[in-house]
Amino acid sequence: MSTPIFIRSIIVTAEKNIKIYYKKAPVIIFGLLFPLFMFLSFYIGRKIDLALFFPGFIAMTLFFTASSVGPLITPWEKQAGTYERLLSYPVTVNTIIFGDILAGLIFGMSITTIVLISGIIFLNIAIVNFLLMLIAILLGCFCFAALGVLLASPSSRAPSNVMMLSSLIRFPLIFISGIFIPLQELEGTGLILSYLSPLTYLVDIFHLCLNGTSMLPIWLDLCGLILFSCVFVLAANLLHKRNLAKGL
């Protein structure tokens, strides 16, 4: 497949996803309302330093938004009977996967940017390292959009089943990361577990970008996110191909 055709197909797939799936209820519920309510439940009535909590909140927003579109697309397409048509177009499974990732990435970046700008305007949050912040948002959105697409790989034709499965995986990733308990305060098993969540590395970068300090070296945070991204993309490719015919 030549590069222009590959890129064109990815863009067309992403545009299709944006038009159809951004407005779906699960995306709005799991992508927008969930992080908002999670934030409110932890913030309201507690004396929390918002500047300290903001990196975690922005990471959580990015995590939920970027990973909310992917799990929905393939099960929805299989249920609606459009997946077979999509596969008959001049595309490959990789094109579809990257198109789905791009749709999640754009959704995650858009909402995260809005929340970040709101934080800067209303909460006087300052960005210490703008370029790194941009790279982290981009990398984080790619990583979690890829996770979303990976979560869509089971053969289920019922989007609700996949959304349940995705919640089952996404929530533990939040709780073991350094969002609610700073990495500095974690020790033993808690600390080891936190390294298994890609969110940990993103939160750490955001702490550096917004507060000027991080627990881990920045190269390790970036490598962690890149490594998780590669694992998610490769696993999504493998599982989507394996389950392609199921539920057609």
Partner 1 sequence: MDLMMGKEDYAIKASNLTKSFGSVVAVEGVSFAVNRGEIFGFLGPNGAGKTTTVRMLTGILTPDKGDVIIDGIKLRKNPVRAKMRMGVIPEIGNVYVDLTAEENLSLTGRYYGLSRELIEKKTRELLTSIGLFERRNDLVRTFSKGMKQRISFACAIIHDPHILFLDEPTEGLDVQSRRLIVDTIYRMNKQGCTVFLTTHNIEEANKLCARVCIINKGKVVAIDRPEKLKNTFDKTQSIEVSFDQKIDEESLLHGPILKAEVFGDKWRIYTTDPDKAVKYIVTLAQEKGMKILSLTTCGPSLEEAFIRLTGGGG
Buried b (16+ CB within 10 A) or exposed e, 162-191: bbebbeeebeebbebbbbeebbeebeeeeb
Binding mask 8-37 for partner 1 (x = CB under 8 A): xx--x---x--xx--x--------------
Residue 120 touching partner 1 (CB under 8 A):
no
Question: Kind and range of the H or E element at 241?
Answer: helix 218-242
Which DSSP string corresponds to 149-197? HHHT-S--S-HHHHHHHHHHHHHHHHHTTTTTS-GGG--THHHHHHTT-
Torsion sign (Cα): 81, 87, 90, 93: positive
Kindly state whether residue 188 participates in binding partner 1, applying the rule CB under 8 A: no
Which CB atom, from 23 or from 47, has the smaller least distance to partner 1? 23
245 is a site residue for partner 1 (CB under 8 A): yes
Choose, by CB under 8 A, the member of 45, 47, 88, 124 that binds partner 1: 88
Q: Given the complex with partner 1, which of 91 and 208 has the nearer CB atom?
A: 91
C-alpha distance across the termini of the chain, in Å: 24
Nearest to 138 by CA among 202, 197, 221: 202
Q: How far apart are CA 159 and CA 177, in angstroms?
A: 27
Contact (CB, 8 A) for 38 and 60: yes
Tokens describing residue 210: 């917004």
Q: Which of 46, 47, 49, 90 binds partner 1 (CB under 8 A)?
A: 90
Q: Does 151 bind partner 1 (CB under 8 A)?
A: no
* CB nearer to partner 1: pick between 127 and 241: 241
Minimum CB–partner distance for residue 173 and partner 1 (Å): 30
Q: 25, 37, 84, 168: which one contacts partner 1 (CB under 8 A)?
A: 84
| Minimal distance, residue 35 CB to partner 1, in Å | 25
92, 110, 155, 211: which one contacts partner 1 (CB under 8 A)? Answer: 92
Which residues 62-81 are close enough to bind partner 1 by CB under 8 A? 80-81
Q: Smallest gap, in angstroms, from Cβ of residue 9 to partner 1?
A: 7
Q: Does 7 help bind partner 1 (rule: CB under 8 A)?
A: no
Half-sphere exposure of 136 (CA within 13 A, CB side): 31
Binding of residue 242 to partner 1 (CB under 8 A): no
What separation in angstroms does the CA of 196 have from each of 12, 34, 151, 154, 205? 34, 22, 17, 22, 16
User: Residue 145 CB, nearest distance to partner 1 (Å)?
Assistant: 21
H/E element, 219: helix 218-242
Q: Which residues bind partner 1 (CB under 8 A)?
A: 1, 5, 8-9, 12, 16, 19-20, 23, 80-82, 84-85, 87-92, 244-245, 248
